[in-house]
Amino acid sequence: MPRTKRLSAAAKAKRRSGKKKETCAHNYNQATAAVDETQSSPSSTRRRISKRPTLRTTIEQRKRKYKAHAVFSNVTRSNAMRKKYAENTSFRSLWRKRMQAKYVHDAVFHAHWQRRMRQKYRSNCTFRCLWRKKMQLTRAEKYKDSAFRDYWRAEMRTKYLDETFREQWRHTMRAKYKDAAFREHCRSQMRASYTHSVSNRMLKKQRVKNCRARQAATVKTCFNSAIAVFRKHIQEGPIFTCISCHRHLYRQSVSGFKMSKYKRDSNAILDRIISAFTNSDADDKRYVCITCHSYLVRGKLPPQAAVNGLLLENIPSALRVTELESVLIAQRVLFMKLMALPRGRQRAIHGAVVNVPSNVSSTVTSLPLTPSKACTVAAETETSTAI
């Protein structure tokens, strides 16, 4: 018996894996063969070929669809045109020239295009941002040309005459000026313009002069009007008496007195004030000063009101003396220089005031005795009366 060669463990594993592979390959081949047999039958192949559309059929179908469906035709055409526009440079330039010419000469197309762009600008935020950037760049590039610059300035000046646009522009620029970078940019531009351009410098100086002249005229007008009002007020003099404090004031310091202006709680105070006011001027109107009014509105008695213990009593008839008598009994004799002020009917003291004390008792004793103290008797005669 031939002796079988002993195999190593690695060789045994290799043989086992080889057998497995052979088994898998055999199974796969069997399955493939079954499928091939099924598919490769002449009847099934004929059926499949007859079902598959040919190129000509597809084209015919697409042509029919293109003619029948407007949407499909539009989409197909626009897609084809877009593809061509993107890939073909010469077609792109040709198309642009054609559209530009149409935009210039065809009014209907021009209006339609503008309407469409406005609609897109309003509705599409991305498009709006892109369009703004594009226009800024285009304008900056164009602005280098002096002709365009002049045209643009004239256009903006014309637009600025419109009040709505002007207000909108100011609002925008104010909002923009809050940005520190933009502010600094504006300042540096103005400085550069002032430094390097003589005409701009002169123009700026002239503007400043005009502005200052306008301000001075305004101030002068205000000052003159204020003086005119003051003179009008003082022409009347302090003839308006406050019903509460009995002070004589100017017109601008008082207002008309009405009971209805005040609260019901202050009616008692008002009655006291009215009863204490006995001024019988020709003017029947009653006035109250601003200070008293402020207290009465709050229902309080004004501190300077006459009824607040400041009411002056009437002078008795026995104390009513003449001017000479009052000088004779005065305990002080004053010497002062009074001057009439140019306006306002007021007087002013000029210089020092000299106060001379007077000995009233010696004056009184040196006067002639009164009839009762002189021990005289009045008697009447037929011819004359003797004292």
Do the Cβ atoms of 174 and 167 come closer than 8 Å? no
Nearer to Zn ion, 35 or 290 (CB): 290
Q: How far is the CB of 360 from Zn ion (least distance, A)?
A: 36
Place of tokens 């002070």: 247
Nearer to Zn ion, 244 or 266 (CB): 244
Two tokens at 303?
A: 């501190």
- Residue 260 C-beta: closest distance to Zn ion, Å: 19
| Contact call for residues 325 and 317 (beta carbons, < 8 A) | no
Backbone angles phi, psi at 217, to 5 degrees: -65, -40
CB-wise, 13 or 290, nearer to Zn ion? 290
Going through the chain in order, the beta strands assigned E by DSSP cover 240-241, 248-249, 254-256, 287-289, 332-340, 347-357, 379-380, 385-386
Element (H, E) at 298: none
Closer CB to Zn ion, 245 or 307, in the complex:
245
Residue 261: exposure state from Cβ atoms within 10 A (0-12, 13-18, ≥19): middle
Return the number of the residue (30 or 246) whose C-beta is nearest Zn ion.
Answer: 246
**Euclidean distance between CA atoms 307 and 378, whole angstroms:** 48
Nearer to Zn ion, 202 or 310 (CB): 310
Spatial CB neighbours of 248, under 8 Å, sequence gap ≥ 6: 238, 239, 240, 241
CB of 254 to Zn ion, least distance (A): 8
On whether the CB atoms of residues 284 and 329 are closer than 8 A, the answer is: no
> CA–CA separation, 258 vs 241, rounded Å?
15
**What are the tokens at 71?**
């949407």
Among 343, 348, 262, which Cα is nearest to 297's? 262
Residue with Cβ nearer Zn ion (142 or 261):
261
Query: What's the min distance (Å) between Cβ of 223 and Zn ion?
Result: 30
Closest separation in Å from C-beta 231 to Zn ion: 24
Q: Which residues bind Zn ion (CB under 5 A)?
A: 242, 244-245, 289, 292
Question: Closest distance between Zn ion and the C-beta of residue 245, in Å?
Answer: 3
CB of 232 to Zn ion, least distance (A): 22
What ranges make up the beta strands (E) of 140-279? 240-241, 248-249, 254-256
> Least distance from C-beta 242 to Zn ion, angstroms?
3
Query: What DSSP line would sit under 108-131, residue for residue?
Result: HHHHHHHHHHHHHHHH-HHHHHHH
Q: How far is the CB of 291 from Zn ion (least distance, A)?
A: 6
- Which one, 161 or 306, has the nearer CB to Zn ion? 306
Residue closer to Zn ion, measured from CB, 53 or 237: 237
Element (H, E) at 246: none
**If we measure between CA atoms, which residue out of 328, 298, 306 comes closest to residue 247?**
306
